[in-house]
Structure 1
Amino acid sequence: MVLFLLLSGICWSIVYIELIYVGFKNETYGMPFIALALNFSWEVLYCYLGFTYTPENIQNYITLIWLILDTAVVLTYLIYGKKYFPKYTSKKYFVPWTILIFFMSFVLQYYFVVEFKDLGKLYSAFLQNLVMSILFIHMLITRTDTKGQNLTIAINKWIGTLSPTILYGIIVGNKLILALGIFCSIFDILYIYFLSTTRKLHNQS
């Protein structure tokens, strides 16, 4: 069990480090904003709950590392996100929109705990992961370039989600997590393929 969690922790840490690196290098943000807000709020909430009620759990330390790294990813959005805000919308709405999405994310994460107790942590993690997988494809399609995106991020995101899918979906036997994890893998593999193809086309042009 610990090996699956460590593999996930390592892969997601690589994702965050790479997002930070290419984000500042290319002056962009690489994780779709709504997925980023859900992800960040998940890490804040479960870092707090984990160290408060089960401080001996290794996952708490993994989550803390993710939170520290993800804070820098959020910073790339705050610095560079405004230029991706819809051109037909006033830039003055960037900050209110950002606050609203973060507020929504924290509220949703909180009520996953209220309604599903311990399982809420897993259900929300896999659900937001599925949202993220789909939004990565959407971001690739809607942007005019692949700045902030690369195969290191895509592949490690896939493996980092596949590992807990095997643990909780197959070994533990949670069918909902298995279904969410399978769809995450489908969209992650599609994203890897689309990103690889797009980068090849850009290199040829």
Structure 2
Amino acid sequence: MVTFLTALSGLAWTIVYLDSIRIGLKQRTYAMPLVALALNIGWEWIYGLHGLLDGLSLQGVVNVVWAVADAVIVYTYLRFGRRELPDFLSGTMFAAFSVLVFATGFLVQWMFVVEFDWHLASRYSAFLQNLLMSGLFVAMFAARRGVRGQTMTIAVAKWIGTLAPTIVFGAYEHSAFILTLGILCSAFDLVYIGLLWWARRQPAFAAAPTSVPADRLIGVD
């Protein structure tokens, strides 16, 4: 069962990344909230490389696949993210802000490794960033005033991809901390799924806005 849930999580998150790439390129935007993207790619490259050096495993292979896919999502952010910010911000400011955010993501993930061992760091950081991502997807929906750069496929696959390891690490391995974070992730994910379902039945609301709110500057999206 654990192997099945691990594979299910790997497949679901791979679907999240592939559909994020697809919708990002199609709608000329990026489909993952910026801060979550920075933490994600930091986690995947750190643990993907560690897995390759420490011996191949199913999760290690999955991490490498995710790292490569996430790099393409980063490309969509660098390619199209500038237009999400207010017009008065220069390209130089966008570049500097992007470097700061992604460097912070890598540093935070590495500090988990420094503070905990590899085993605990990978789990604690993964579920904490997942909870943040779940909230930021809801914030993305609100900030973009609709479903631009978002799909039901991403929302449902993200929910399943987080729920599966919640069962493994939270329920099977009896970690109250991870179980609580996983349940909270599911709560936000289901709210987000509900918002997308509602928006699909509200054509005027679901239409992509022509302007971008100024709160992009702080990485809400």
TM-score w.r.t. length of structure 1: 0.95
1:115 equivalent in alignment to 2:115:
yes
Aligned ranges 1:144-155 → 2 under 5 Å: 144-155=145-156
On the 8 A contact 1:85/1:91 being kept in 2, the answer is: no
Q: What's 1:80 paired with?
A: 80
On the 8 A contact 1:5/1:59 being kept in 2, the answer is: yes
On the 8 A contact 2:41/2:71 being kept in 1, the answer is: yes
On the 8 A contact 2:36/2:132 being kept in 1, the answer is: yes
Alpha-carbon distance in structure 2 between the residues aligned to 1:203 and 1:11: 30
Q: What's 1:158 paired with?
A: 159
On the 8 A contact 2:42/2:109 being kept in 1, the answer is: yes
On the 8 A contact 2:166/2:182 being kept in 1, the answer is: yes
Alpha-carbon distance in structure 1 between the residues aligned to 2:166 and 2:50: 22
Q: What's 1:20 paired with?
A: 21
On the 8 A contact 1:45/1:110 being kept in 2, the answer is: yes
Aligned length: 204
Alpha-carbon distance in structure 2 between the residues aligned to 1:131 and 1:63: 19
For structure 2, the 5+ residue unaligned runs are 208-221
On the 8 A contact 1:136/1:191 being kept in 2, the answer is: yes
Q: Deviations over 1:13-40 (max 9, x none)?
A: 0111101111101111110011001000
Aligned ranges 1:1-205 → 2 under 5 Å: 1-53=2-54, 55-87=55-87, 89-117=89-117, 118-202=119-203
Alpha-carbon distance in structure 2 between the residues aligned to 1:146 and 1:92: 29
Q: Deviations over 1:153-198 (max 9, x none)?
A: 0000000000000000000011111111010000000000011112
Runs ≥4 residues deviating over 6 A: none
Alpha-carbon distance in structure 2 between the residues aligned to 1:166 and 1:134: 20
- Residue 92 of structure 1 and its aligned partner are, at CA, apart by 2.8
For structure 1, the 5+ residue unaligned runs are none
Alpha-carbon distance in structure 2 between the residues aligned to 1:13 and 1:137: 21
Q: CA RMSD in A?
A: 1.4
